[in-house]
Amino acid sequence: MRIGVLTGGGDCPGLNAVIRGVVRKGVGVYGHEFVGFRDGWRGPIEANTTPLGIEQVRGILPRGGTILGSSRTNPYKVEGGVEAIRENLAKLGVDALIAIGGEDTLGVAKRLTDDAIPVIGVPKTIDNDLGATDYTFGFDTAVTVAMEAIDRLHTTAESHHRALVVEVMGRHAGWIALHAGIAGGANVILVPERPFDVDEVVRHVESRFATQYAPIIVVAEGAVPKDGAEVLSSGAVDAFGHVRLGGVGQWLAEEIEQRTGKESRAVVLGHVQRGGTPTAYDRVLATRFGLHAIDAAHEKDWGKMVALRGTDIIRVPLEEATRELKTVPLERYLEAEVFFG
Ligand code: F6P
């Protein structure tokens, strides 16, 4: 078989490890050929390809980003997009696709499978919010980066008796905030799943100052104040209808400073969480996803996504993969709340 590989959506540490796993087993064990499509779904729409073989995947295991590039292109929003994909695959002699992405990329993969274009999905997101898999690669790296930042911020916050608000990624799900906040010993963690009460945050901040320590508040970019609205960095909307978030940390720091009279600053970790080399956990998970994805393709088990259940890699229908987002359950949040204040 000749198989196309693409990476879509926001990039994520571990994407290259998946590509390497797919190609190494696909060529070495099954004797398949590969074509890399550049920049997510834009690649097959525009027939923008790059060679993909053993040579191209050498040395990429520890590299962040994706050697294939990425984009948030939605073929169902591009005039003639799906037909262009169909024609280009035929022209290039590509039998099937392996699409590595989050809910948007996998949603497209599901629709293409329904439209008789064979696809296997691999779940990817630093947000860890895909319902059908226990973990996605990239999450552990993002949490580690955020935890290290929080560790550093504790020391400088204490030297200056400041409150520091750390804004992390997490549009609909607060997994990064929750895990980084617990691992970093945050005094308050705010997640999109639970609208927060600014008065309560201020109480936690004051009680922390009263013990001669400086408070660190971890806030997910998608967290909203009670009776308030999401804070947006701009009006920009991507091809999947997501508005660009960012700014809740700065907003909250100003509220805290006004209400407590203590200096408060915001730090936005942003894309730092997505960049750089993956942790060992993410390299192993991504590699296993790649190996199992090429097994699924070899068996022509189209319309499936590989997923982690416990310690096993299983296959689930793409439909299940995109059915619901995995958000932070209340009981998990309550565990963290013990340490607030
Ligand atoms: O979807 C993953 C994610 O990390 C979200 O948490 C965040 O809102 C988004 O990507 C930001 O991505 P970009 O700035 O690349 O559009």
Q: Give the contacts of 225 (CB within 8 A, at least 6 positions apart).
A: 195, 196, 197, 198, 252
Q: Which atom of ligand 1 is nearest to the CA of 142?
A: 4
pTM over 0.85: yes
Over the range 328-340, which residues count as b (16 or more CB within 10 Å of their CB) and which as e?
A: beeebbeebeeeb
**Mutation probe of ligand 1 site: the residue of 171, 193, 238, 268 with most atoms within 8 A of C-beta:** 171
pLDDT at 241: 80
Which amino acid would we find at residue 272? V
Active site residue 127: yes
**Mutation probe of ligand 1 site: the residue of 124, 127, 145, 245 with most atoms within 8 A of C-beta:** 127
pLDDT at 296: 98
pLDDT at 335 over 80: yes
Spacing, Cα 232 to ligand 1 middle (Å): 13
Spacing, Cα 244 to ligand 1 middle (Å): 8
Q: Is residue 28 exposed (0-12), middle (13-18) or buried (19+ Cβ within 10 Å)? A: exposed
pLDDT at 246: 81
pLDDT at 100: 98
Spacing, Cα 96 to ligand 1 middle (Å): 28
What tens digit of pLDDT does each residue of 278-301 get?
Answer: 999 999 999 999 999 999 999 999
pLDDT at 27: 98
End-to-end CA distance of the chain: 58
Spacing, Cα 10 to ligand 1 middle (Å): 6
Please compute the mean of the pLDDT values over residues 295-323 and round it to a whole number.
Answer: 96
CA-based nearest residue to 228, from 239, 219, 236:
219
Q: Which atom of ligand 1 is nearest to the CA of 11?
A: 15
Residues lining ligand 1, CB < 6 A? 10, 102, 125-127, 169-171, 221, 245
Residue with CA nearest ligand 1 atom 10: 10
What tens digit of pLDDT does each residue of 106-165 get?
Answer: 999 999 999 999 999 999 999 999 999 999 999 999 999 999 999 999 999 999 999 999
Residue with tokens 């508005």: 243
Alpha-carbon gap, residue 81 to 240, rounded angstroms: 15
Angle in degrees, CA 208, 209, 215, rounded to 5: 60
Spacing, Cα 226 to ligand 1 middle (Å): 23
pLDDT at 229 over 90: no
Q: Which atom of ligand 1 is nearest to the CA of 72?
A: 16
Alpha-carbon gap, residue 328 to 179, rounded angstroms: 10
Residue with CA nearest ligand 1 atom 4: 169
Alpha-carbon gap, residue 196 to 223, rounded angstroms: 8
pLDDT at 101: 97
Please compute the mean of the pLDDT values over residues 52-73 and round it to a whole number.
Answer: 98
Alpha-carbon gap, residue 315 to 308, rounded angstroms: 9
Which H or E run contains 250? helix 248-260
What tens digit of pLDDT does each residue of 181-212 get?
Answer: 999 999 999 999 999 999 999 999 999 999 98
Q: Are 297 and 95 in contact (CB under 8 A)?
A: no
Encoded tokens for 227: 């009776």
pLDDT at 230 over 80: no
Angle in degrees, CA 128, 279, 74, rounded to 5: 40
pLDDT at 39 over 90: yes
Residue with CA nearest ligand 1 atom 15: 10
Question: In whole angstroms, how large is the CA radius of gyration of the chain?
Answer: 21
Q: Are 262 and 205 in contact (CB under 8 A)?
A: yes
Diameter of the chain by CA atoms?
A: 69
Q: Which atom of ligand 1 is nearest to the CA of 242?
A: 8
Q: DSSP string spanning 89-135?
A: HHHHT--EEEEEESHHHHHHHHHHHHTT--EEEEEB-TT--BTTSS-
pLDDT at 239 over 90: no
Annotated catalytic residue within 39, 127, 140, 295: 127
> What is the average pLDDT score of the chain?
96
Beta strands in 169-278 (DSSP E): 188-190, 216-220, 232-237, 243-245, 264-268
Residue with tokens 């617990």: 182
Spacing, Cα 307 to ligand 1 middle (Å): 21
